[in-house]
Amino acid sequence: MADPRNDHGIEIRGLSKIFGPKANELAPLLDQGITKTELNEKYGHVLGLKDINIAMPAGCIQVIMGLSGSGKSTLIRHINRLIEPTRGEVLVGNEDVVKMSPRELREFRRHKTAMVFQKFALLPHRNVLENTVYGLEIQGVPRAKQVEAAMHWLSRVGLNGFEKSYPNQLSGGMQQRVGLARALTNDAPILLMDEAFSALDPLIRVDMQTILLDLQKEIRKTIVFITHDLDEALRLGDRIAILRDGEVIQQGTGQEIVLKPANDYIMSFVEHVNRGRVVEVQTIMTPLAAGEAPQGVTATEGTLLEDAARILLQSDTDRLTVVSGDGRPLGVLTQQKLMEAMVTKVA
């Protein structure tokens, strides 16, 4: 799935973070399997992250999901080292971010990453245009180029005509569009989004998700997206990692997580998910027996159950044939089976 134009995958290896003055002395205790509660009660230190291993392919959206206190915001801040890790590696391309000197780190942040924040974090004394050029200004790009790039991305996120407005004059949704435009103008291969849409109301949030997905088709950046909302995670994520108490408890595609939750905790999350919008037809189809002829209407591999149901409803049959991208029939799905899959869990 890696994109040839973007070779900036991120690999996190054995990353741990203990907050507190004696973090380094306490780090060996992690190997002995000390828990978050123990570390807090015995030593008064907070375990932020524990032995995180995630490989994020280049050009994909990796969602990190977890509730508050799960360490997801801590994790994303390790990728551009806004937080120093206690141990572990963060590999971007071939470089270990953890080992960079301050100067290298600054260059890395300027050219390789851009970040969108939950609370927007715009400069209140600068208007929209001046906020958007910030990254390029820091890099020392000529002013004309700064403005050209900024105007391009401002129009892409739908902020034409707002260049001269100040952040305080804009609604939350529009402020976050500025945040997004600012990050995109930086033209970095990695986009870090820390609960970027969490502060927005539901309709605008879905709106922003759509904008992001549309843009991603074209920009193909490596996006790390933090959220506490499973629906958002499933909608955006090519891959999802679920964090709890600083540990990754499951990672995989949305379907894998919905269909095979690793434990009760994740189960309780996915229970309420609309499976029709996550599960794809080929996952639940009955493979075609040799020589069996395709019947009824067809749906391409990768179609979501909800869309397949719509196709079935509009036809007069109760059978649906799943075909591959090049039209080869793969399997069959009955109306019965489709409905079962949408309402109950698949074993």
Partner 1 sequence: MDWFWSFPHLSDNFLRDMRRTIDDGFRVFTRNYGDQLEAVFDPLRVFLVWAERLMLNTPWPIVLLVIAAIAWFASRSIWIVLGSMITLLLIGMFDMWDDTMRTISMILVCTVLAIALGIPIGILMARSDRVRNVINPILDVMQTLPSFVYLIPVVMLLGIGRVPGLIAVVIYAIPPMIRLTNLGIRLVDRDVLEAADAFGSSSWQKLKNVQLPLALPTIMAGINQTIMMALAMVVIASMIGVQGLGQPVLRAINNQYFTLGILNGLAIVGIAIIFDRVSQAFGKRLQKHLEIVHG
Q: How far is CA 242 from CA 71, 172, 214, 225, in A?
A: 10, 27, 25, 12
From 290, 291, 282, select the one nearest 333 (Cα to Cα): 282
- Closer Cβ to partner 1, 52 or 193, answer by number: 193
- Closer Cβ to partner 1, 54 or 115, answer by number: 115
Under the criterion CB under 8 A, does residue 84 sit at the interface with partner 1? no
- Closer Cβ to partner 1, 95 or 137, answer by number: 137
CB of 171 to partner 1, least distance (A): 6
Instruction: Give the DSSP letter string of 173-223.
Output: HHHHHHHHHHHHHTT-SEEEEESTTTTS-HHHHHHHHHHHHHHHHHH--EE
From 224, 249, 220, select the one nearest 239 (Cα to Cα): 224
Binding mask 135-154 for partner 1 (x = CB under 8 A): x-xxx---------------
CB of 245 to partner 1, least distance (A): 24
Structural element, H or E, at residue 56:
strand 46-56
Q: Tokens in use for 286?
A: 């009955």
Cβ within 8 Å of residue 45, ≥6 positions away? 18, 19, 20, 22, 23, 26, 39
Q: For the chain, give the number of residues.
A: 347
Within 92-121, which residues bind partner 1 (CB under 8 A)?
106-111, 113-115, 117, 119, 121
- Closer Cβ to partner 1, 93 or 329, answer by number: 93
CB of 249 to partner 1, least distance (A): 28
Q: Which segments within 102-168 are labelled E, that is strand?
A: 113-116
Binding mask 161-200 for partner 1 (x = CB under 8 A): -----xxxxxx--------------x-----x--------
Q: Which stretch binds partner 1 (CB under 8 A): 20-28, 133-141, 258-266, 275-283?
A: 133-141
Interacting residues toward partner 1 by CB under 8 A: 80, 82, 106-111, 113-115, 117, 119, 121-125, 134-135, 137-139, 166-171, 186, 192
